[in-house]
Structure 1
Amino acid sequence: MKLPVLFLGHSSPMNAMRDTPYSRNWRRLGSALRQHYRGRIRAVLAVSAHWCTDGTAVTAMPDPRTIHDFGGFPQELFAMRYPAPGSPGLAAEIRSLLREHAVTADFGWGLDHGTWSVLCHLFPEADIPVVQLSLNVNLDAPAHFALARRLAPLREQGVLIAGSGDIVHNLRLMDWRAPDSTGNAYEWAQSARILVNGWLENGNTQALTDEAAYPPALHLAAPTPEHWRPLLYAAGAAASDEPLQIFNDDIIGKSLSMTSVVFGHDALFEAA
């Protein structure tokens, strides 16, 4: 059975400890995945915006640490742990699939907040092994997408591929006076959200990866590439004609999107 692919708009790490419409939908999604696939999910392969490296790496330790890669948040957030096991075996499989990329086995990273702040809602029991794949800063959008295509066979081997980032992520222009407000988003942020949603719904992977043709609104939405690139991994691991379900499709603080996507199902769960 082929597993779906996820893209999760993770936004602030505070979502890890908050009960919000977004975290409730992640919990609904996790419950639906458990119910639909039962014991067939043997591991999660996460691609987070928060692990960028010179070259490609994959976590290969049996017990990845919980990384608190942020500052200025309550102590309760720093006290959180997500003690999911790693999977050296899956790391070896990934290195074999991507052997032409000379992927490094990493034993020092762990699970950063792009991964654990959403997985703590999807799979709160932390009983499914998790491996992270880094974002190689030397690759362009087509190369990231092509690498994700190579990972697609893992879906039929019990691996849930999950990209974690944000389609719209411009912290410089964010309204910090109302960071959780869903009203009055910038026009360019809404335009980028609608444009990208349309590309996804129509399977337009050419537009998704053609960086030279991105319109100004998308450059404002993703002024740096690290939060955008996990979407390429999710879309790349999915077939262009697969159904999908978009949820959490809000922009908060005028310039940060929560948009999340399930590739491979159009109604896996009922989102609020």
Structure 2
Amino acid sequence: MDTFFISHGSPTLSIDDSLPARHFLKSWQQKIFTEKPKSILVISGHWETNEPSVNVISGLNDVIYDFYGFPKPMYELKYPAPGAPELAMRVKELLVDAGFKNVKEDKARGLDHGAWVPLMLMYPEANIPVCQLSVQTNENGTYHYNMGKALAPLREEGVLIIGSGSATHNLRALRLAADDGSAIPWAQDFDTWLKESLVNGTEPVRGLVTESNGLTV
């Protein structure tokens, strides 16, 4: 089972058919990844906690409308995917065994838009159990790299692991960006560094990479 990072873009991805990413995600099962996973683990940039947390949901996942000021139809969308409590406990087991001692269980939290927006396009049937794992923004790249290593056995257990977010994220800077759609220079620089690091197998980040325009990565 492969592992993917998806830039989920704006929440309007859920309704705006003019966005190319929307069509890419809707073609997921036919063109990108034809194998049906047993369950899905999403690590979203929109769930930040001090300690690793998994949502342990026995029934259907609720959706969290964690965005503001968008068109009303977006707040009426649903993605009733079943929870994945067994996967959640397996994630906790792997992390604890790898040295992440304080792994929390959240039995109430639903799926944030970093999870349900792309999944509603990728797997509209909402018939695959989904679990979320939080990120710790007070920790560095090495910490999360080691978290990924701990979760690697899930790939052999039929679990599709999806990282969902953006390489950079600064809405204030985006609103002030050039009208021609060109990337902000510091964002382009980081994106280039990230691509080269992944392609060339560079060692994980050991600390903060940069802090610019209110964005820390």
Q: Taking structure 2 as the reference length, what is the TM-score of the superposition?
A: 0.89
1:7 maps onto 2:5 in alignment: yes
Q: Distance in 2 between matches of 1:187 and 1:104?
A: 38
Q: Which residue of 2 aligns with 1:190?
A: 188
In structure 1, C-alpha distance between the alignment counterparts of 2:130 and 2:213, rounded to whole Å: 29
What is the deviation of 1:145?
1.0
Matches within 5 A, 1:13-52: 13-19=11-17, 20-32=19-31, 35=34, 37=35, 39=36, 41-52=37-48
**1:8 & 1:65 partners in 2: Cα distance?**
21
Residue in 1 that maps onto 2:174: 174
Unaligned runs of 5+ in 2: none
Change (3 A) 1:139 1:175: closer
Q: Give a deviation string over 1:181-207, Cα, whole Å, max 9, x none.
A: 763322222222222111111121x1x
Q: 1:68 aligns with which of 65, 68, 71?
A: 65
Q: Is contact 1:58-1:104 (8 Å) kept?
A: yes
1:45 is paired with a residue whose SS is strand
8 Å Cα contact 1:30/1:121 also seen in 2: no
How far apart are the structure 1 equivalents of 2:142 and 2:74?
Answer: 36
1:220 maps to 2:217: no
Paired letter, 1:183: G
Deviations 1:77-133 (A, max 9, x none): 000011110111111111111123231121111100011111111111111111000
Aligned length: 212
Could you tell me which residue of structure 1 aligns to residue 85 of structure 2? 88
Kindly provide the CA deviation profile for residues 162-184 of structure 1, in whole angstroms up to 9, marking residues without a partner as x: 01111121222113688xx7633
Secondary structure of the residue that 2:191 maps to in structure 1?
A: helix
CA contact (8 A) 2:168 2:187 kept: yes
How has the CA–CA distance of structure 1 residues 55 and 75 changed in structure 2, closer, same or farther, with 3 Å as cutoff? same
Are residues 1:115 and 2:115 paired? yes
Structure 2 CA distance for partners of 1:55 and 1:73, relative to 1, 3 Å: same
- Identify which range, 143-152 or 189-198, moves more after superposition: 189-198
Aligned residue identity for 1:115? A
| Deviation readout 1:187-230 (Å, 9 max, x if unpaired) | 222222222111111121x1x42335x3x5xx3388145xxxxx
Q: CA deviation at 1:4?
A: 0.8
Change (3 A) 1:70 1:54: same
Match among 92, 95, 100 for residue 98 of structure 1: 95
Aligned counterparts, 1:138-217, within 5 A: 138-175=138-175, 183-204=181-202, 206=203, 208-212=204-208, 214=209, 216=210
SS of 2:133's equivalent in the other structure is: strand
Letter in 2 for 1:25: F
Moved more, 96-105 or 86-95: 96-105
Give the gaps of 5 or more residues in structure 1. 226-272
Query: What is the CA distance between 1:137 and its match in structure 2?
Result: 3.9
The amino acid across from 1:160 in the alignment is L
